[in-house]
């Protein structure tokens, strides 16, 4: 039996173990996906143990997604471009880092039939960077608004696709929202019942990355609003997980089984 680890802090409420363990069981694989709470000062030692033990790989989550870049033998072009890692695969004693968030985001949008053209991304962390790369690749016009403006400026300066970049803006006004067709929430706002667009009229599409067991207030409001398309964080979670599963096992992921292991239908 090989293991796959989830490395982060906190990890207790993660929905990933249910999805991956259901997928291993469905394919008759004797593997086990385990969440491990790892503090920053334990990260290097944890990766060292991964190199030595019977571990296929890992998912990496907050707060280690950037630190891992400096601790592995190889980093994929995708992870380097995004500047963050969410998946590690072990090849012999060497660890390779990758990022499947962009794949998850792209597939979730495609599944909803969404082709955003004018997009506001809320947040400027690793998830926002993955989304901005994908949106620029798809030719969209992208604005980034973040609580800490300097980080949005940095994202706009450092992420470039085909010589195109996002622009940094202040937290969106109603006028900004009226000009956009889609808002992507790439902050944790919603986990504590917040609505990042409270009091504002929504654009035609809402993509909320927060992978919550119950729908966030933004997702609930968008679903209750006529003519608004909603992409729930669980959908991106599913598709990034499926791609990670493929990287660890080399097998076609049983997506229907993984979807059924989520706490609600998406």
Query: What are the distances in angstroms from CA 218 to CA 40, 65, 143, 178, 222?
Result: 32, 26, 19, 17, 6
Contact indicator for 197, 174 with CB cutoff of 8 Å: no
What is the signed CA dihedral for 166, 167, 170, 174, rounded to 10 degrees? -80
Q: How far is CA 266 from CA 38, 118, 230, in A?
A: 30, 25, 10
Residue 236 interacts with ligand NAP (CB under 6 A): yes or no: yes
Number of residues that bind ligand NAP (CB under 6 A): 25
Instruction: Look at residues 10, 30, 33 and name the one whose alpha carbon lies nearest to residue 21.
Output: 33
- 207 forms part of the interface with ligand NAP (CB under 6 A): no
Task: Point out the residue whose Cβ comes nearest to ligand NAP.
Answer: 125
Helix residue ranges, H only, 185-232? 217-223
Options 83, 102, 211, 217; binder of ligand NAP; rule CB under 6 A: 211
Does 215 help bind ligand NAP (rule: CB under 6 A)? Answer: no
Among 40, 44, 45, 62, binds ligand NAP (CB under 6 A): 62
- Near ligand NAP by CB under 6 A: residue from 83, 126, 172, 217: 126
Structure letter (DSSP) for residue 161: B
Nearer to ligand NAP, 124 or 168 (CB): 124
Among 8, 125, 215, 253, binds ligand NAP (CB under 6 A): 125
Q: Spell out the residues 6+ positions from residue 73 whose beta carbon is closer than 8 angstroms to its own.
A: 94, 95, 96
- Is 253 a binder of ligand NAP (CB under 6 A)? no
Select the span of 41-49, 68-76, 156-164, 234-242 touching ligand NAP (CB under 6 A): 234-242
Nearest-approach distance from CB 261 to ligand NAP, in angstroms: 15
Among 57, 83, 102, 123, which residue sits at the site for ligand NAP (rule: CB under 6 A)?
Answer: 123
Name the burial class of residue 144, with classes exposed (0-12), middle (13-18) and buried (19+) by CB atoms within 10 angstroms of its CB: buried
Q: 176 to each of 90, 182, 203, 243, how far by Cα in Å?
A: 45, 11, 10, 34
Burial of 218 (0-12, 13-18, 19+ CB in 10 A): buried
Pick one of 23, 47, 50, 237: the residue that binds ligand NAP (CB under 6 A): 237
Find the angle CA(248)-CA(246)-CA(5) to the nearest 5 degrees.
40
- Which one is catalytic: 39, 65, 220, 223? 65
Is 118 an interacting residue with respect to ligand NAP (CB under 6 A)?
Answer: no
65 in catalytic set: yes
Span from 14-22, 46-54, 140-148, 252-260 in contact with ligand NAP (CB under 6 A): 140-148
Give me the active site residues, please.
65
- In the complex, the residues that contact ligand NAP under the rule CB under 6 A are 62, 65, 101, 104, 123-128, 146-148, 151, 186-189, 209-211, 233, 236-237, 240
């Amino acid at each position: 039996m090989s293991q796959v680890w989830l490395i982060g802090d906190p990890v207790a409420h993660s929905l990933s173990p249910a999805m991956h363990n259901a997928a291993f069981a469905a394919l008759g694989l004797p593997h086990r996906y385990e969440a491990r709470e790892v503090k920053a000062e334990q990260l290097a030692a944890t990766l060292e143990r991964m190199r030595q033990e019977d571990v296929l790989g890992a998912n990496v989550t907050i707060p280690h997604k950037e630190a891992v870049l400096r601790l592995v033998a190889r980093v994929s072009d995708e992870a380097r471009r995004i500047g963050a890692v969410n998946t590690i695969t072990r090849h012999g004693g060497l660890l390779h880092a990758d990022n499947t968030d962009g794949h998850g985001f792209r597939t979730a949008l495609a599944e909803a039939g969404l082709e955003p053209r004018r997009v506001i991304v809320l947040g400027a962390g690793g998830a926002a960077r993955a989304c901005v790369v994908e949106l620029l690749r798809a030719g969209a016009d992208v604005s980034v608004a973040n609580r800490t403006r300097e980080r949005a400026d940095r994202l706009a300066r450092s992420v470039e696709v085909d010589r195109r970049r996002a622009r940094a803006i202040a937290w969106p006004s109603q006028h900004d929202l009226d000009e956009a067709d889609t808002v992507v929430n790439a902050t944790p706002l919603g986990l504590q019942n917040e609505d990042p667009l409270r009091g504002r009229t929504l654009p035609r599409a809402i993509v909320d990355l927060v992978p919550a067991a119950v729908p966030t207030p933004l997702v609930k409001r968008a679903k209750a609003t006529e003519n608004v398309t909603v992409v729930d964080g669980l959908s991106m979670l599913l598709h990034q997980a499926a791609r990670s599963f493929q990287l660890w096992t080399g097998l076609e992921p049983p997506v229907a089984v993984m979807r059924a292991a989520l706490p609600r239908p998406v």
